[in-house]
A and B are shown apart, each in its own frame.
Chain A
Amino acid sequence: MNLEEIIQKLNLSVLTIPNNFASIQPEGGYCADLLSCVMAGAKPGTLWVTLQAHINIVAVAALTDCAAIIITEGATPEPDVVAKANNQSVTLLGSKLNSYQVVCQLSDLGIR
């Protein structure tokens, strides 16, 4: 399943400049809010689910080459976070749901 379909099915808001999402095939997921954990554990091409919206999520996503970050519980990144993400070509997506609910939905779509 490609990222465009995932965005539609999970009704995610796109917080950064839209990309060619149909060409991106996430290869699994990772869920954590401790960024040191994510740096050690997230594999390239994964969807990272977190409620952390601090600017360092952009650096961590760029470092681990995540497919996109899904920021949960309606947490809103500050404008400088969005600007940095655009600059680093990191996709930020938003959901009102909590991380557990988002992970369940991703799992239902076959992202495991």
Chain B
Amino acid sequence: MIPPLIINESLAMGINLLAVTDHNASANAWAVMEAAQGTGISVLPGMELQTREEVHLLCLFDTLQQLETWQALVNSALPDIPNNVEFFGEQFVVDSEGEFIRREGRLLLNSANIGLEQAAEQVTALGGLAIPAHIDRKANGLIELLGLIPPGFEALEISRHISPSKAREKFPQIGRTPLVQNGDAHLLDGLLGTTEFELEAPNIAEIRLALKGEGERTMRIR
């Protein structure tokens, strides 16, 4: 997706907090952050990690520096297999205008050889927030792959295909863990914007407070 179009679409939808979470990759995060400058939209740099268990894990950070450190760890755990564009499509890196910079050479759809809990611990230690992605989905969802939800996650993400109440009813193993809902947008029309946070500032520490419902920070899914 082209960064300025992501920002325009978000503005049109009234979304003011985005996270860029490419699959095992982060090279496009800065371009979207750059494109958002001056628009009032905040962009968190992140990644959707595919763990050893093939679980998708959202890794959200405050800064590109944290994300770069994380990417280096992920790179050392990703098999060094080149992308085959014919089979898997292009892996473009673009600038804030959407202009081509380079192709990512390594195939990004593999699993990184990092366990789920280990990944979450490392992301948290770097100052980030780790949230298992689309836990209700059969493809790469935590519940389908691992049956039970390991304890300790600060939040779990549900897809657009289920409501929070239905998710809690269908998967009682969610327990009291906070839920967020995101679009997992691969195309412009996939943006969702149903999770609302009341924050003092758009950062990980504030989101963490809102997830816990502390310090008058709140969150809800519309």
Chain A residues near B116 (CB-CB < 8 A) = 54
State the CA gap A60–B146 with chains docked (Å).
9
State whether the Cβ of A97 lies closer than 8 Å to any Cβ in chain B.
no
Residue of A nearest to B144 (CB): A36
Asked, given contacts A34-B145, A36-B143, whether A56 binds B115 with beta carbons under 8 Å apart, the answer is no
**Beta-carbon contact of A35 and B148 below 8 Å:** yes
**Beta-carbon contact of B147 and A59 below 8 Å:** yes
**Beta-carbon contact of A35 and B147 below 8 Å:** yes
Chain B residues near A36 (CB-CB < 8 A) = 143-145, 147
State the CA gap A52–B150 with chains docked (Å).
15
B153 to chain A, nearest CB (A): 13
State the CA gap A33–B143 with chains docked (Å).
12
Number of contact residues on B: which range applies? 10 to 19
State whether the Cβ of B53 lies closer than 8 Å to any Cβ in chain A.
yes
The contact of B115 among A33, A54, A59, A60, by CB within 8 Å, is A54
State whether the Cβ of A6 lies closer than 8 Å to any Cβ in chain B.
no
**Beta-carbon contact of B53 and A52 below 8 Å:** yes
Chain B residues near A56 (CB-CB < 8 A) = 146-148, 150
The contact of A55 among B52, B143, B144, B150, by CB within 8 Å, is B150
Q: Which 5 A-B residue pairs are closest in the complex by CB-CB distance?
A: A35-B147, A56-B146, A36-B147, A54-B53, A36-B144
Known: A55-B150, A60-B148. 7 other contacts (CB 8 A): A35-B147, A35-B148, A36-B145, A36-B147, A54-B52, A55-B117, A56-B146
